[in-house]
Amino acid sequence: MVQIKTREEVDLIRESCRIVAQVLRMLEKSIRPGVSTKELDEIAEDFIRSQGAKPAFKGYNPPNTKAYPASICASIDDEVVHGIPNGRTLHEGEVVSIDVGVLKGRYYGDGAWTFAVAKVSEKKEFLLKVTQESLYRGIEQAVAGKKLHDISYAVQQHVEQAGFSVVRELAGHGIGKRLHEDPPIPNFGEPGTGIELREGMTLAIEPMVNVGTHKIRLMHDGWTVRTQDGEPSAHFEHTVVVRKGKAEILTE
């Protein structure tokens, strides 16, 4: 069931989202050739805990999975999402998606950004540009009175017009007292369909965009998702509140 948040609940979610945004800005300054994803994870966890909050992903344990072992997800090149930080170092020309979840005051915030490691190819630059733009196209539709799949359609149209594909097996989600709440928010769909959006809904909108096929595969660690064809992928995410006229972005 979709939860409508009170003003007080939105303020608590906003605080968790503030920390998410700060972590992403902090990590952007640390992303360079030679740094390991484990180092990035340690920077993020230290800062989150310094804010009186907890890393939402660490120990996250959905049914039929083993607990996620890190504080952030760090997904490189053909890794779509849920890459587990380790000793792997970044190299010039790669792109790395950083996904951050924070729990503070019993409410969650969630956001992601894909960064270029030094200089990258024009294809990767274009992928990042289109994916980021598609996120904001979706957010433009997150207003009271619209339908849920208006968000989905806006993302899909922008991505596919650029010649890329949206991942179909994964989706955005509602967020609040739980990291993943209803409704699921696919990145493809028909406009004018889905539930009606109401003021006070809190949504994590997150396009996951592949250069090639939309098809993906799950790796043996049970978490890391990669593109099936080995082509690069990008991931951008904001937590927003549905408002009248214009959505409020909490993780900006």
Residue 98 lies in a domain: yes
- Residue 213: closest CA among 226, 202, 201, 203: 226
User: Which helix or strand (DSSP H or E) is residue 66 part of?
Assistant: none
Question: pLDDT digit string (tens) for 25-63?
Answer: 999 999 999 999 999 999 999 999 999 999 999 999 998
Residue 193 lies in a domain: yes
What strands lie across the sheet with 79-81, from one edge to the other?
79-81, 225-227, 216-218
Please list, in sequence order, all residues whose beta carbon lies within 8 angstroms of the beta carbon of residue 102, skipping any fewer than 6 positions away.
16, 17, 19, 20, 23, 48, 51, 53, 54, 55, 56, 108, 109, 110
Residue 153 lies in a domain: yes
Residue 2 lies in a domain: no
Question: pLDDT digit string (tens) for 181-229?
Answer: 999 999 999 999 999 999 999 999 999 999 999 999 999 999 999 999 9
Question: pLDDT digit string (tens) for 115-144?
Answer: 999 999 999 999 999 999 999 999 999 999
Residue 84 lies in a domain: yes
Number of domains in the chain: 1
Please list, in sequence order, all residues whose beta carbon lies within 8 angstroms of the beta carbon of residue 175, skipping any fewer than 6 positions away.
13, 108, 109, 110, 181, 202, 203, 204, 239
CATH of the domain at 60: 3.90.230.10
Residue 85 lies in a domain: yes
